[in-house]
Structures are given as structure tokens and as C-alpha cells.
Amino acid sequence: MARLIPNERLSDLSNEEIFRYSRHLLLPEIGVAGQKRLKAAKVLLVGTGGLGAPLGLYLAAAGVGTLGIVDFDLVEESNLQRQVIHGVRDVGRPKVASAKDRIKGINPRVNVVTYNTMLSSGNALDIIADYDIVADGTDNYQTRYLVNDACVLLGKPNVYGSIFQFEGQASVFYAAEGPGYRCLYPEPPPPGLVPSCAEGGVVGVLPGIIGCIQANEVIKLIVGPSAYSTNTACTLVGRLLLFDAWKTQFRTLTLDKDPRCPICGENPSIHELIDYEQFCGLKKAAEEEPVEIITAQELKDRMDRADPLQIIDIREPHERAIAKFPLAKAIPLGQMARRVEEFDEGVDAVFICKIGQRSVFAIRALREAGYRGRLLNLKDGFAAWAKEVDRSLPVY
């Protein structure tokens, strides 16, 4: 693999830097030359959440000279279960500001460049162009495809990680040396089919493990082969690392470059960034029948008037154990179509999930099963009810 950091960017290490990074310098695979490359490197972190937290912490500690961080979210208390770069005092602050403070607290020598914005097709190429490596710590498909495509077009390596519940993945997508993200996942799954961590949950230590693996890959890409060691670095280019935190098991799959890949294959058809919301199915198709919504306050008003209603809680049993919804009948999403006979088409049915996404699928499943009654989706789900109507209930 060709070196990513040009020699003309390298500078000497000060005595203070030699002392600080001495444990690296003692490794023949890194040594003085490798540490100089770390100092000269520019790495962009896309996301400062669960994966971006260990990436930022460990790359700063390792002496990476410039860290760019892209994020547009604010720190929430629910983030603190896994996003260890933020603290209680940071709740309500922009994540990039909190992350910058923590990184500078670990290593004041690191140049931290913040982008308090959403990465988009309009700004991705301009932002990524300034960096040697991109580390993708995002949690949505449209940004993953965007990062992949921008990295392919710019010739940058993309250090990938993803997490869900107890399972994590990591790889290095680098079109110049091996397959890209689209070689593994040519098309995104239908929107809503794969629940997010906000809906499905994630064990707090998992992003720490996967994020550290990503940080390790970044360091190996920067340092590259050493003249003082015969131990050649073996990166995750062409391999997908799978980790099951519940079983404590690792597996590695070999990935091949897809010659038909639309962006890094033999005859690419994508030559610029596209509309990723459209590609990932986030924009509603014109022919798709809309789902009628009801707000938490509107539902409360109807319940107070004792209007006839069928309130259906589609959450899983472990979610209902956290908090129950009043007067609701529990029918999990997977049972919806086969229990259609339990519904009364003459009475409005209101569907409830955690944040109002999975319940859309329940409504569509009933429609496909031939149900003709009125179906309403509680806007923003149980979370809205707990925040706007019954504040005695927990928000989870």
C-alpha cells in the first residue's frame, strides 16, 4: 500500500514529543518515522457519537496532528451511556464543541477543526478533500453511502464501523487497494427495515470496541510499512471484521471488489455525488399512500372525551416492561398481519411504537392484509406521549 502521508509534510519531533510518545517509538513498526507521519496526518471523523468518541480520544492520544470532526447534533443525556468523549456538563452543547474540548484536554498539540454541520452532497467533497483518511462513525445509510462515494471520487481510504445492539462491524474501504462500501452493500435496505440504535438499543461498550478497532486501522494506514521491521501491517482492506459482544466472538470475512460496482467497478456509472435521501428511500414516492398521523395531545383529547378507539402498542415485550401505554392492546409488529381479525373496521385504530417509525410498517401491513378501517400513527410515538402528555412516564 502506498504511503498516504507525503515526506515533505514530515517534521522533527521535539524532546517533549519524544518523551510523550516514547511507547510508540519503542515499537519498530512505528518508531520515529511512524510517529512523524502521525504528527503530519490529517484525519476526518464523521460523527462524534459512540464510534467517534473512542476514535477522537485514541487518535488524539496517539499524536495525530490534525483531527477534523463533523457533527450537527447536541449532546443529550442518553448519549452518555456510550459516547464517552462527552460529559454531564456538556449536555445541550454542540457535540463538536464538547469533543474538541476533550481532545485538547488529552493532547493540546492536536489541531482540531470543527464542522458543526450535516455532511451532505453539497459540502462533502470540499470537506473531505483536505484530509488523508476518513473515519466513518455515522449511524445512517445515506451518510455511509455519501462518505463512501466521496472517498472513492477523491481517492481517500474510508475506515468504516457500525454497531447495533450487541453486534459490530469494521472494515477499510479503499477503492485504490480493494473493495468499497457499495461492493459489500450495493443497495440500502428499505427505509425503516433496520431499526436504529435509538429504537433497537446498543450495549454501551460496543462502540468503544469497534471505535478502537477503527482507530487502530487509521494508525496502521498512516504509519505504513517500516524500514526497521519485517512485520508488515495487515489492514482491514478487503476484509470485514464482525464482533458479537454478547458471545464475545470475532469473525473475519473476505471481501472482493465488485467489477460491476457503480462507483469503483470496471465501468463506473457514478461520477458525482447523488441525492442520497432519494437513493436510500427517505423521500416519499409519489404513488405511496401517506400514513395519517395523530399528535400526542390530539390522542389525549380523544381519550378524555372517551371516543371509541383501538390503541395498539406494537413495541416488544422488553420495551413495554420499561413503561406501559394506558389502555393499549399489545400486538407486536411481526404478528400484525395474522391478527387482522382482532380489529374493528368501524373504530379508529391508533398505533404506537417508541418514536413513530415502526408503527408505519404495522399500518402498511394491515393495509396489505386488506384492512379498510381508519389507521392513525402516533406522531413521534411513546416518546412524544411521555414528553408532552404524561411526564410521569420515563423517556427511553
Residues noted as catalytic: 197, 353
Asked if 148 and 142 touch (Cβ cutoff 8 Å), the reply is no
d(CA 180, CA 66): 25
Q: Which three cell numbers stand for residue 85?
A: 468523549
d(CA 360, CA 62): 46
First to last CA, the chain: 45
The three-state secondary structure class of 67 is strand
d(CA 360, CA 248): 35
The three-state secondary structure class of 175 is coil
Torsion of CA 257, 263, 265, 269, to 10 degrees: 160
d(CA 236, CA 149): 19
| Residue owning grid cell 464542522 | 115
Sheet architecture: strand order including 349-352: 292-294, 375-378, 349-352, 310-313, 329-330
Beta pairing, strands 349-352 & 310-313: parallel
The three-state secondary structure class of 124 is helix
d(CA 64, CA 38): 5
